[in-house]
Amino acid sequence: MTNIWTKLRAQPWIWSFIAMIAVWLATIAFTGGQGAGEILTAALSFATFTIIIGLGQMMVITTGPGNVDLSIPATITLAGVVATKVMDTDNARLLIGILAALGASFVVGLFNYGLIRLLRIPPIIATLSSSFLILSTAISYGRGIRIKPPPMLADFATTRILGVPLLAIFVLALSIGIALLIKRTLYGRTVLAIGQNPRAARLAGLNVDLTRFATYLLSALLAGVTGIVLSGFSGGAALNMGEGFLLASIAVVVIGGTSVAGGRANVPGIWGAALFIYLLDTMLNTFGASAGIRLIMTGVIIIAVITIAGGDRQQR
């Protein structure tokens, strides 16, 4: 028993799950047990979006200090706008819509990496700048008009099986895939190696450029996927649909135990952190706290979680 606990304690992701459960218990204690299951279901549906982009952001952050993708929110918006406009509420155009949206995301990834590699712009500024361009593209293409998703997309995004959102199951599969990618493929190992020491990685014969490129591409594509399913989920794309995801994508990655210094990634932690952040918001809403108190509590709890969890984490 104690043995399991010591083992668990060593896992960097465990704290996000503990925090999540604590917050959930606090919520249902307040409501007297009412809605315990439904809250979790809602958390699962909404956390999935954060998880998808969190996975992409995690890969980027893992490639080393300074690497971060700030263009995720804009890419979500662009993909959502392109998808719904191309699909034009028609089930038959579903596939071509998805392809168009992913194509747009692909271009975003290409562009981001071009800025970083060819113009040697630090990623944080490169992706920030490109996010403005992406948003402008979305504005001029979509004109701020909200087009409904085709029924098939909406159904896919909202269907539940025994209370578990279908989407969550897909994202679980995706997460396992990414975890496998990191641990067991050459690409994943290269990402981890670059994150620790890019020069050593190059001299160890790893393909640094291609891997970084693939990583920014992956992040953009995952943002694109999020844009598509999110517009299916919430009844269309809007220009501000990505707004909440900038800080969230970074927060779930770091709270989930991924090292901001690079070289260490953690997939389960992203689940814990995404659910935690959603449930934290729910808890504060349920308590009926005022906006000020809610913001303060959010900050305090995030810092508290990382303080409890982060103590023995190795940092460079």
Interacting positions 143-162 with another protein (CB under 8 A): 143-148, 158
Q: Is 93 an interacting residue with respect to another protein (CB under 8 A)?
A: no
Q: Binding-site residue total for another protein (CB under 8 A)?
A: 111
Query: At closest approach, how far in Å is the CB of 182 from another protein?
Result: 11
Q: CA nearest 192: which of 220, 215, 173, 218?
A: 215
Q: How far is the CB of 55 from another protein (least distance, A)?
A: 18
| Interface region with another protein, contact rule CB under 8 A, candidates 6-14, 15-23, 92-100, 292-300 | 292-300
Element (H, E) at 147: none
Selected binder of another protein within 25, 184, 209, 210 (CB under 8 A): 184
Q: Which is nearer to another protein, 95 or 183 (CB)?
A: 183
Question: Pick from 151, 176, 209, 316: which binds another protein (CB under 8 A)?
Answer: 316
Does 26 bind another protein (CB under 8 A)? Our answer is no
Strands (E) across 145-260 are located at 160-161, 164-165
Question: Segment 212-271, which members bind another protein (CB under 8 A)?
Answer: 230, 234-236, 238-241, 243-244, 247, 250-251, 254-255, 259-261, 263-264
Instruction: Report residue 68: phi and psi, to 5°.
Output: -160, 150
Q: How far is the CB of 222 from another protein (least distance, A)?
A: 17
Shortest CB 264 distance to another protein, Å: 6
107 is a site residue for another protein (CB under 8 A): no
Task: Answer yes or no whether residue 119 interacts with another protein by CB under 8 A.
Answer: yes
Cβ closer to another protein: 95 or 186? 186
| String of contacts with another protein for each residue 52-71, x by CB under 8 A | -------------xx---x-
Spatial CB neighbours of 79, under 8 Å, sequence gap ≥ 6: 101, 102, 104, 105, 223, 224, 225, 226, 227, 228
Touching another protein, residues 293-312 (CB under 8 A): 293-303, 306-307, 310-311
Q: What angle do CA 226, 227, 233 make, to 5 degrees?
A: 85
Q: Closer to another protein by CB, 1 or 171: give it.
A: 171
Q: Which amino acid is at 112?
A: N
Tokens of residue 178, six digits: 């990414």
Q: How far apart, in whole angstroms, are the C-alpha atoms of residue 225 and residue 101?
A: 8
C-alpha 89/C-alpha 83 separation (Å) is 10
DSSP letter string, 232-275: HHTTS--TTTTTTHHHHHHHHHHHTT--TTSS---HHHHHHHHH
**Least distance in angstroms from the C-beta of 59 to another protein:** 16
CB of 106 to another protein, least distance (A): 19
Six-digit token string for 313: 């984490």
CA dihedral 75, 274, 123, 304 (to 10 degrees): 150
